[in-house]
A and B are shown apart, each in its own frame.
Chain A
C-alpha cells in the first residue's frame, strides 16, 4: 500500500477560495449499491472511499488493525469494515442497515448508500433506494443473476431509478474471463428488458483488487468501457426534471406569528411559483393569488421546485397542513380510491381491511388495503407466472392492490410526481412503518378540483360480500304466491350466507311509493322506482328479490335494461287466474269483482305474461318450498 489513503486537491493549498468556488458548483449524485448477499457491495464502497482518498490516516490505521482482528481477509485490508459500522455487522460480516457515505472527486460530489443484500433487510434497502438517482447492482461473477439481484433490480425500477449500473464483481476469482462476463450481462439484459429497464451499463470489476474502479484495468483488456468512477462522474442526472412540471407545494405548517401574517410553509415539490400567480388549494379547489413568497433572506419574486418557502395569499382562503397549493389551471387529482404497488416492510403480514395510517406528502389519512390483486413474482415479474395469487403480503413481498382512504387525498401518479405519489403505511397500534407504496391511478374518473363523496365501486361491494349481485324479479297475478316463494328463496339464500333483500309489494307501497295509486301511470312509476331501488341495491352488492305483480311487459323490460348483463332474472310465478282467485288470501278478488277495487289485475286490468322468463314456476304442481328449491337450482352459482 504505497498510495496515501487521504490526499487532497492541489488547489486547496494554492488557492482555497478558488477551490471552494469550484467545489460549490460541482454537481451531486446520490447512488446506492445493491444486489445479493456477499456480492461485495460494502467492499466496493470501502474501495471507492479509499481510492478517492477519503480515508483519514487515523481511520486507515484503525481499519488495518480491525481487518487483522476480524480476519476475514487474512492480513489484508477488509474494505467492508469501513462501511459496516455497527457492531453486529462487523461480528457477522454482513450489512444490516444502510450506511450513508460521502465522497468527492474532481468532477462530482457523491452520497452513496450501501444497502444490505440479505432479503431479511429489504426494508433497509428500500430506504436507501428511495432517495437515489442511480443504482449500482452488484453481481458475484461466480454466481450470476440471483433472486436478490432480481428483487433489487425490480424495486429500483419501481422506485423510479432510471440509471442502472451492473457491476459484475469478483472478476479476480474467475480470471477476468470475458465469456463469463458476457453471459452474465446477457442474462441480466434479458431480465432487465422484461421488467422495463430500458438501459444499463455493465462494468467488470473487482472491488477487492481494485480493477476498473477508478481507472481501466490491464486484467480486462477486452473491456473498452469506462471505469466505475468515470461512469459515475459523467452519467447525466436530470436535476431540473421536476422544475418543468406544473407547480405543486404540499403545505406542512401554517405560520401565524400574529394576526397580520398568515403564511403557508412547505417545500415546492414540482414547478415554480411567482408573486401574483393564481393558485388553487386542494382538496377544496378554492383559488387565490400569491401575494408574497417569504423567506428569512427576504421576499422572492419567484421560487422553484426543491425550495422550502412560505407563501402568503391575497385573501383569507382556507388552507392548512395536508393541503396542496397548485397552479390554478392544472391542479392535481383528488381521490379516495387508488391502485398502488405496495412493498410490505413489516414482520406482521398486511391485514386487508385493517385501517392503517397512510402518509403521503403532508397528508395523513386512514387507509384500508384490499386483498392484493396479485403478488409480483420477482423471479419472473412479467412472464406467465408473474402474478401470484395472494390473500395478503408478507414481509418483503411486492404486490398490487387497491387502497381506500377515509378522506380525499390530493395525489399524482408516482411516475409523474414522487412527492404526491409515494406513501408509507403505519400500523396504528405499533406505530411501525409497515409498508411503502407507489400510487398508479385513481379508481374513478379524474376528479379534478371538486371532489364529491363517492362510494366504493359496485365490484368492491360485491367482492366484499363474496357474491354476484342479482335481481330476482318475481312477477305474477295477485295471490299467485310471489311473496311466499320469494320469502322461501330468501331464507335459503340466507342459509347459504348470501346477502339479500326482499322488496315486497306491500312494504314498498307503504313507504317509498305511498303517493302512488293504481292508475296505469302510477303503476308504471311504481315499477320504475322499484327498479331504481333494486339497481342501487345491486350496486351495493346485494341479491335483490322483488315480489310485485308488475303486469306490463314494457315495465319489466325497462327494469331489465337498467341492470347489467345477466343480472336481471325474471321469474314468472305462473298461477292461473281461477286458481289465484279461488285462493284469494286477502279477499281482494272478491272486492274487485264487487267493483270496490278499481284497476285490479286480471279483473279490470290486463296481466301481460312474460314471453321468455328466465324461470317459470308452476304453483299448481309445486309447493312453495319446491318452487323455491327449483329457483335456487336455476340461479346458482351466485359467486
Chain B
C-alpha cells in the first residue's frame, strides 16, 4: 500500500463522506440528476458510497422537454444501472403555456428550471437534495457551502450562511426548510474529466465530437436535435449544416452552444478543454441573461 492518497482519491473519499452524512441524517434525500458529466460523476460516487446497497434515494430530473435525445436515453439507462428510482418533473404550467427558449427567453429557464425545481422538491418532499455544482464554475458558487441551507421558499441567503467547519455538517432545519448538498464542491473541471477517465464512467456521447446537424442562431452554433420541433417553434426550418461538433456542457439543445471540434476521445476532449482560453460556461446562454449577478440572483430565487 502506498502511503497517502492521490488527489482524486481524496476528492472521492470526501464526496462519499458527504453523501453518507446526508443519508444518515436527512429524512428524505434525493439527487438532482441533470444527465451531464458532473451528474454522471456524482451518481458514480453515490454507487460507491453505498455499495453493495443501491443508493438509498431517488434520482430527480427536472425536465424542460428541450433536452437532447441522447440525454433522455442515458437518463433511463443510468437510473436502471444504479438500481435507483427515477423521478421526472415537468412544470405543468410551463407545459401548458408551451414555454420554449425562443419565444420566452429568460422565462424558459425560470419556469422550467427554477420554478420546476421548486415544485418538484415540494412535491417529493426532499429535505436534502444533492446537486453536482462545483465551486470552480462561477464566482457565487465559489462562495457557497457544501451544505447550503435554503429557506422554506427555497431561497439562498448568501450573506447569512452557516459556518461549516472541518467535515462537520449541520443538517438540522425547521419544517419546510431544506438543504442543497454539493458533494463535488471541491472538484475542478479537470478533476471531473480525469475521474471519468480513471473510472471509465459513461457520459452522454455529445461530449465527443461527431458529425451532427447544426444551425446558426443569433451568432451561436447549435445542434438541430429535433428539427420538426424547431421548425414548429421558429416558424421556419433553420438552415442545417453538418459539422463535426461537440458540447462542453449539456442543457436544452437550443440553448447549448456547440463547439466545432474533432476531439473524439477523452484525452482529446481534455486536451481541447485545457487549451481553451474561455470559461467553460461560455457555451451556455443561461448565465448571460441577467448580467453580473445572474447566478447569485437565480440561487436566491431557488435555482441550484
Q: Among A123, A266, A301, which residue has its beta carbon within 8 angstroms of that of B163?
A: A123
Given contacts A87-B293, A294-B52, A359-B170, contact A308 B12 (CB under 8 A): yes
Q: Which of the listed residues B6, B20, B23, B163 has the most CB atoms from chain A within 10 Å of its own CB?
A: B163
Cα(A164)–Cα(B263), bound, Å: 44
- B224 → chain A closest CB, angstroms: 26
Taking a contact as CB atoms under 8 Å apart, the answer to whether B51 and A294 are in contact is yes
What mask results when residues 101 to 141 of chain B are scored 1 for a CB within 8 Å of chain A, else 0? 00000000000000000000000000000000001101110
Given A88-B158, A100-B185, A307-B5, verify A357-B51 contact (CB < 8 Å).
no
Give the contact stretch, choosing among B58-66, B205-213, B239-247, B268-276.
B268-276
Q: Assuming A87-B296, A99-B143, is B53 touching A257 (CB within 8 A)? A: yes
Q: A91-132: which have CB < 8 Å to B? A: 96-102, 109, 111, 123-124, 126-127, 130-131
Distance to closest chain B CB from A544 (angstroms): 43
**B163 and A124 contacting across the interface, CB-CB below 8 Å:** yes
B143-A295 in contact (CB<8A): no
CB nearest to B48 among chain A residues: A296
B3 touches A (CB below 8 Å)? yes
Whether A306 lies near B1 (C-beta < 8 A) is no
The stretch from B30-38, B72-80, B91-99, B186-194 touching chain A is: B186-194
Compute how far the CA of A361 lies from the CA of B20 in the bound complex, rounded to whole angstroms.
Answer: 13
A265–B271 CB distance below 8 A: no
Interface of A is mostly: mixed
Rounded to whole angstroms, the CA-CA distance of A54 and B21 in the bound complex is 33
Which residues of A, 1-33, contact B by the 8 Å Cβ criterion? 4, 6, 8, 12-13, 16-17, 19-20, 23-28
CB neighbours (8 Å) of A97 from chain B are 143, 158-159, 161
Most buried by A among B8, B50, B142: B142
B161 touches A59 (CB 8 A): no
Q: Is the CB of B186 within 8 A of A100?
A: yes
* Count of A interface residues, CB-CB < 8 Å: 85
Contact A431 B174 (CB under 8 A): yes
Residues 12 to 30 of chain B near chain A (Cβ within 8 Å) = 12-14, 16-17, 20-21, 23-24
Chain A 271-315, CB within 8 Å of chain B: the 1/0 string?
Answer: 010000000000000000000001111000110101110100000
A-B contact pairs, 11 of them (CB 8 A): A24-B194, A83-B139, A85-B143, A127-B165, A243-B3, A243-B4, A255-B51, A306-B10, A422-B168, A426-B170, A431-B173
| Top 7 closest pairs, chain A to chain B, by CB | A85-B139, A308-B16, A431-B172, A16-B271, A296-B48, A130-B165, A296-B51
List chain A positions with a Cβ less than 8 A from chain B: 4, 6, 8, 12-13, 16-17, 19-20, 23-28, 56-59, 62, 66, 82-83, 85-88, 90, 96-102, 109, 111, 123-124, 126-127, 130-131, 239-240, 243, 252-253, 255-257, 261, 263, 265-267, 272, 294-297, 301-302, 304, 306-308, 310, 321, 345, 357, 359-362, 418-419, 422-424, 426, 431-433, 436
